[in-house]
């Protein structure tokens, strides 16, 4: 039984295998390969894309889905522990997809559960299936994952998608540029990780002048829900706004990605630019999640 809690639970070859499988699902999404399975979708934190794309993936695989997206409707609100909740859900189902605000909570759930657990985002820590769809999108638009220049901008402190993605892309010899205000800079543990792997990176503060030579601009939202001081969020929330005019001098094949939701950091005038890829990126989430579910179920002949 294998869970997917951190992107580092997958090797490079496993990531590539899942991306290859995702391409087959994009070509033909309706494959009822998991008709005998029931999957729990349990979200302790709001979500639009992750929950609905997982549930779409589960349905397209012919499996059935149970779950909740509102904790107040569960016995957790009566004081039941997370341990008992996960134990019960793993008695009912064949897999659990879980989002939770607390870092480490999904790892804990995977240790309690009798069935595989997929991390759909735990606090500021990890969002491994977002990484799979990000990598699928990068490979699809750039033709390869190898040797790319990737610029990540915004909230690099609390943005879990950034943390997962930089770890996984490190298998493919990238060069990173990190653009953030000092208060939201990439935490030292991730810089140490990259140094240990001899991955090149540089840190910058300005956005416009630092995106002309890059293959991917990965914008992120300032994560309001992680701030203890509302005034600090107000001060930082509009630090970066990517505008259409800023894309004029960028590389012809460059793509703008964003895990979404956006709350102003990409101007709407970017949406019609062919370099904008974030809505396609979110759509790719269905195929990447179908592939991840199949992989963890041991279904590999699709
Ligand atoms: N990218 C992402 O995790 O979006 P949601 O919060 O809407 O699931």
Taking CA atoms only, the protein residue closest to ligand 1 atom 5 is 47
Residues of the chain falling short of pLDDT 70:
none
Q: How far is the CA of 237 from the centre of ligand 1 (A)?
A: 18
State whether 148 and 227 are in the same domain.
Answer: yes
Residue 193 Cα, ligand 1 centroid: separation in angstroms?
Answer: 25
If asked whether residues 173 and 114 sit together in one domain, one would say no
Strand partners, 199: none
Tell me if 224 is assigned to some domain.
yes
Same domain for 199 and 110: no
pLDDT on residue 300: 82
Residue 2 lies in a domain: no
Asked if 19 and 123 sit in the same domain, the reply is yes
Ligand 1, pocket residues at CB < 6 Å? 47-50, 121, 130, 259-261
Domains in the chain: how many in total? 2
Location of structure tokens 């005019």: 245
Q: Whose CA is nearest to atom 7 of ligand 1?
A: 48
Residue 139 lies inside a defined structural domain of this protein: yes
Question: 147 and 267 share a domain?
Answer: yes
The Cα angle at residue 132 between residues 71 and 175, in degrees rounded to 5? 125
HEC states along the chain? CCCECCHHHCCHHHHHHHHHHHHHHHHCCCCCCCCCCEEEEEECCCCCHHHHHHHHHHHHCCCEEEEECCHHHCHHHHCCCHHHHHHHHHHHCCEEEEEECCCCHHHHHHHHCCCCEEEEEECCCECHHHHHHHHHHHHHHHCCCCCCEEEEECCCCCCHHHHHHHHHHHHHCCEEEEECCHHHCCCHHHHHHHHHCCCEEEEECCCHHHCCCCCEEEECCCCHHHCCCHHHHHHHCCCCCECHHHHCCCCCCCEEECCCCCCCCECHHHCCCCCECHHHHHHHHHHHHHHHHHHHHCCCCC
**CA 33 and chain centroid, separation:** 24
> Same structural domain for residues 208 and 261?
yes
Pair 154, 117 in one domain: no
Same domain, 163 and 269: yes
| Global pTM value | 0.96
- Establish if 162 belongs to a structural domain: yes
CATH classification at residue 18: 3.40.50.1370
Is 15 part of a structural domain of the chain?
Answer: yes
Ligand 1 nearest atom to the CA of residue 285, by list position:
1
| Same domain, yes or no: 270 and 136 | yes
pLDDT given at position 301: 75
pLDDT tens figures, 202-222: 999 999 999 999 999 999 999
In a domain, 302, yes or no: no
**Looking at the structure, do residues 163 and 244 belong to the same domain, yes or no?**
yes
Gap between the Cα atoms of 246 and 87, Å rounded: 51
- What is the maximum alpha-carbon separation in the chain? 57
Rounded Cα–Cα distance for residues 80 and 171 (Å): 41
Question: What's the domain range around 170?
Answer: 129-282
Q: What's the CA-to-centroid distance between 196 and ligand 1, angstroms? A: 30
- Based on the fold, state whether residues 48 and 145 are members of the same structural domain: no
Q: Do both 174 and 111 map to the same domain?
A: no
Distance CA 155, CA 190 (A): 14
């Amino acid at each position: 039984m294998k869970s997917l809690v951190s992107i580092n639970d997958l090797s490079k070859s496993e990531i590539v295998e899942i991306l290859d499988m995702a391409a087959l699902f994009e070509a033909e999404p309706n494959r009822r390969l998991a008709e005998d399975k029931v999957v729990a979708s349990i979200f302790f934190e709001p979500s639009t894309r992750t929950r609905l794309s997982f549930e779409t993936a589960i349905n397209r695989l012919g499996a059935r889905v149970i779950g909740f997206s509102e904790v107040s409707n569960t016995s957790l609100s009566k004081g039941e522990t997370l341990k008992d909740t996960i134990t019960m859900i793993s008695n009912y189902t064949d897999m659990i997809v879980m989002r939770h605000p607390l870092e480490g909570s999904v790892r804990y759930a995977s240790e309690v559960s009798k069935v595989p657990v997929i991390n759909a985002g735990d606090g500021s820590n990890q969002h491994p299936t977002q990484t799979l769809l990000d990598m699928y999108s990068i490979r699809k638009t750039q033709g390869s994952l190898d040797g790319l220049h990737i610029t990540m901008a915004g909230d690099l402190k609390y943005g879990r998608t950034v943390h997962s993605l930089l770890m996984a892309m490190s298998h493919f010899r990238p060069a990173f540029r990190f653009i953030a205000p000092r208060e939201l800079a990439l935490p030292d543990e991730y810089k140490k990780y990259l140094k240990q792997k001899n991955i090149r990176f540089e840190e910058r503060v300005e956005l416009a002048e630092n995106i002309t030579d890059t293959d991917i601009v990965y914008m992120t939202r300032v994560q309001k829900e992680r701030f203890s001081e509302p005034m600090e969020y107000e001060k930082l929330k509009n630090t970066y706004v990517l505008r259409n005019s800023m894309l004029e001098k960028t590389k012809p094949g460059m793509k703008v990605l964003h895990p979404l939701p956006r709350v102003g950091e990409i101007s709407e005038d970017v949406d019609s630019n062919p370099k904008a890829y974030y809505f396609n990126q979110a759509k790719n989430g269905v195929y990447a999640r179908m592939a991840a579910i199949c992989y963890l179920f041991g279904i590999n002949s699709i």
